[in-house]
Amino acid sequence: MSYEALFYPKSIAIIGASRNIKTVGNDVIKNLVTQGYTGNLFPVNPKADILYGKKVYPTVQEIPERIDLAIIAIPAQFVPDALVQANEKGATAAIVISAGFKEAGNADLENQVAQVCQERNITLIGPNCLGIINPEIKMNASFAGVMPIEGSVAFVSQSGALCTAVLDYALDLHVGFSKFISTGNKAVIDELALLKYFAQDEKTKVIALYVEQLENAPELISAVKELSLGEHAKPVVILKSGTTQEGSSAIASHTGSLAGGDTAYEALFAQAGVIRAHTIGELFDYVQVFSKNKLVPVENITIVTNAGGPGVLTTDAVINSGLHLAKLEESTIHKLQEFLPKAANTHNPIDVLGDAVGETYQKTLDILVQDANTDAILVLLTPQSMTEIRKTAHAVVHSHYYGNKPVLASFMGQETVHPGMKIMQEAGVTTTTFPEAAAKALGVFSKFQKYSVREKSEVLKFDDVDKQKVADIFAQAKQNGKTSFPEAEALEILQAYKFPMLKSKQAKSAAEAETIAKNIVAELGSETTFAMKIVSQDILHKSDVGGVMLNVTAKEIKEKSQELMARVARNAPNAKLDGVLVMQMAPKNGVEVILGVSKAPGLGTMVMVGLGGIYVEVLKDVSFGYVPITKNDANRMVTSLKSAKIFEGVRGAKPSDIDMLVESIGRLAQLVLDFPEISELDINPLLVLPKEEGVRVLDARVLLESHVS
């Protein structure tokens, strides 16, 4: 891909440059000419001579030099030809601003565009987009009027119109961009491709995306995990819309794309380590804190305030964000006491009192940046009579520059504090209008930093599985047009993937049942009771015909199995009976969980884990992970359950064998990766026994996709 030609072109053709102001074709050439781009510009338009001082060419062919990048803003049907012509003039990158493709029902035309780009290896942004901006070279190749400041944030938006608002918010907060991209319909270049580019791009330190729909969860997960690892980890912040059904259908009418449910995206973001912003405001808070501060460990926060109430509110917000108030060093407290008034609070949150002037803040901050127990500082100010807003702002800036730890500020109010906020924003201090948002952003910062230093975790893979056996079972099933595998057959499939089972065997006679029971007792080396279930192709609901008996001892089993057979024969006289399944009774000291498989269209296959039982069903306490699944992924799935504490052992119970639960998740992931034709699979329940006693599959069911040939 020619990202160099896209982001750093030496010459650009603007195909569809227009004389008519307030049109897209005019805005683009105007922005390129007037906002500082220094490369060659070749406007193309058969009806113009000169535009913004640049000679206009009637056709692409007539451009006298080689071009790197083509920006296309002509009616949709002419776009494929324009791409060919531009490519013949050397362009290896293109931006198609024109609308009228998939979003207008013209998917064929869009496919045609994609095909031209594929054949000719053209790096294409769009169609139906606002364009791109590279502030580093002052290239505004978009119809947004504003040149943002240069910085370290790569912003990517699926909504072009949102970009104009984002540019305006960003200017206000002095957030700078490395690259600014409106992706439009993503015919060629999508978020995944851009993430891979930003991984290499030295100018980019933070990646922020607005998306309505994504594809290929496994690759996205892998790309984001890679980005977010190590000392130079780059956080990926995503604002995803269409989280509700109504939101999703609004998208459908908007970009013609089908959004997945929010569960699928929640799982994707959690597994990848994406920082999810839930509002535009949060997006900016997170982008600020990551782009304006060095990624250092942050756990203990010190608050400085000239007002008690806001100090308390912010303390709450700090704690609720998963952070702690720093316990200041004794020496810090002494130094503060030396100059602060007696009524001041020299313990965290530090209240310098309402009459604090700029110098009070300055001295306090000078001491706090030296405090070894303080990882980050949050400075609050309310505008009181003695308050020196500008001087205090400069004190914050000073500690931000030289303090070597994140310093965030919220000067509370609007007009009155505005000059101070401006001073801090322009100097690169993270600011928020209300202090709670700063605390929340610090919490996210801390969490990401911890994530960035994690151990890399490998995909769970087991060599002891019998893949061939399952392949044979499925092959035979397909021959017979069979897609459903209830209990016994499902257990056979799982057994091939070495899921631990209860011991069981089918008996054809009462005598055989007794032998099986005795053998199981011998194998286990301990007593057990048994469940017996009738085996018959003709009986759907075993219990209804008296075909199930529980808690039978080995001694009773011969007699009881005769009783069972006779009872079923009476109740279902026409059924052909094949014998009884003799199965060890399940231990009583386990926690029941459910494992399952769910397919997220366009994104991938998810494995689900949830706690069993009626309460959890009501509370929908489940978590998901996309295959393939690493050990970390599986652990996260388990520990992120709301009721995960149950595995630690409550009411005197022993802790559960989580290792074997994690292994089971891995085995299930491997099974569905090996056999994508599995459309549904439930292991319900999987019994998780106490530590070192493993797990047992008690029941399961498997369904294949019927259309797989």
- Residues within window 637-656 making contact with a second copy, judged by CB under 8 A: 642-643, 645-646, 650-651
Where do we find the tokens 């706090």?
368
Nearer Cβ to a second copy, position 165 or 511?
Answer: 165
Nearer Cβ to a second copy, position 349 or 500?
Answer: 349
CB 251 → a second copy: shortest distance, Å? Answer: 5
The window from 189-197, 238-246, 367-375, 519-527 that contacts a second copy (CB under 8 A) reads 238-246
**Cβ distance 641 to 611 under 8 Å?**
yes
Nearer Cβ to a second copy, position 73 or 295?
Answer: 73
Q: For residues 334 and 304, what is the distance between their CA atoms, to the nearest angstrom? A: 16
CB 453 → a second copy: shortest distance, Å? Answer: 26
Near a second copy by CB under 8 A: residue from 50, 149, 372, 386: 386
Please give the full DSSP string across 321-364, using - where no structure is assigned: TT-EE----HHHHHHHHHHS-TTSB-SSSEE--TT--HHHHHHH
* Sites for a second copy among residues 66-105 (CB under 8 A): 99, 104
CB 576 → a second copy: shortest distance, Å? Answer: 31
* Sites for a second copy among residues 265-324 (CB under 8 A): 278-281, 306-313, 315-320, 324
Nearer Cβ to a second copy, position 278 or 555?
Answer: 278
Nearer Cβ to a second copy, position 496 or 638?
Answer: 638
Interface mask toward a second copy for 336-375; x: CB under 8 A? -------x-x-x-x-x--xx--------------------
CB 27 → a second copy: shortest distance, Å? Answer: 6
Q: How far is residue 12 CA from its own chain's centroid?
A: 36
H helices within 376-427, ranges in order? 389-402, 418-426
Q: Does 705 bind a second copy (CB under 8 A)?
A: no
CB 247 → a second copy: shortest distance, Å? Answer: 4
Nearer Cβ to a second copy, position 315 or 362?
Answer: 315
Q: Does 151 bind a second copy (CB under 8 A)?
A: no
E-state strands within 459-558: 484-485, 504-507, 530-535, 548-552
C-alpha torsion sign, points 179, 184, 189, 191: positive
Using CB under 8 A as the binding criterion, the count of chain residues that bind a second copy stands at 94
Give strand pairing partners of 15: 44, 72
Nearest to 318 by CA among 440, 407, 433, 434: 440
Please enumerate in sequence order all residues whose Cβ is within 8 A of that of 268, keeping only pairs 6 or more positions apart, or say none.
Answer: 214, 217, 220, 221, 274, 603, 626
Near a second copy by CB under 8 A: residue from 254, 478, 599, 691: 254
CB 489 → a second copy: shortest distance, Å? Answer: 25
CB 44 → a second copy: shortest distance, Å? Answer: 21
Near a second copy by CB under 8 A: residue from 180, 210, 265, 474: 210
* Sites for a second copy among residues 17-56 (CB under 8 A): 22, 27
| HEC sequence for 587-656 | CCCCEEEEEEEEEECCCEEEEEEEECCHHHHHHCCEEEEECCCEHHHHHHHHHCCCCHHHHHCCCCCCCE
* Sites for a second copy among residues 165-204 (CB under 8 A): 165, 167-169, 171-172
Cβ count near 349 (within 10 Å):
22
Near a second copy by CB under 8 A: residue from 40, 106, 243, 515: 243
* Sites for a second copy among residues 388-417 (CB under 8 A): 412-417
Write the DSSP symbol of residue 39: S
CB 688 → a second copy: shortest distance, Å? Answer: 14
Q: For residues 602 and 89, what is the distance between their CA atoms, to the nearest angstrom? A: 36
**Cβ distance 46 to 60 under 8 Å?**
no
**Cβ distance 680 to 706 under 8 Å?**
no
* Sites for a second copy among residues 101-120 (CB under 8 A): 104
Give strand pairing partners of 507: 580
Near a second copy by CB under 8 A: residue from 75, 619, 655, 676: 619
* Sites for a second copy among residues 413-442 (CB under 8 A): 413-417, 433-437
Q: Does 540 bind a second copy (CB under 8 A)?
A: no
Please enumerate in sequence order all residues whose Cβ is within 8 A of that of 333, keeping only pairs 6 or more positions apart, or say none.
Answer: 346, 347
CB 628 → a second copy: shortest distance, Å? Answer: 30
CB 73 → a second copy: shortest distance, Å? Answer: 13
Nearest to 153 by CA among 189, 119, 174, 180: 180
Rounded (5°) CA angle 458-464-465: 95
**Cβ distance 140 to 166 under 8 Å?**
no
Nearer Cβ to a second copy, position 9 or 151?
Answer: 151
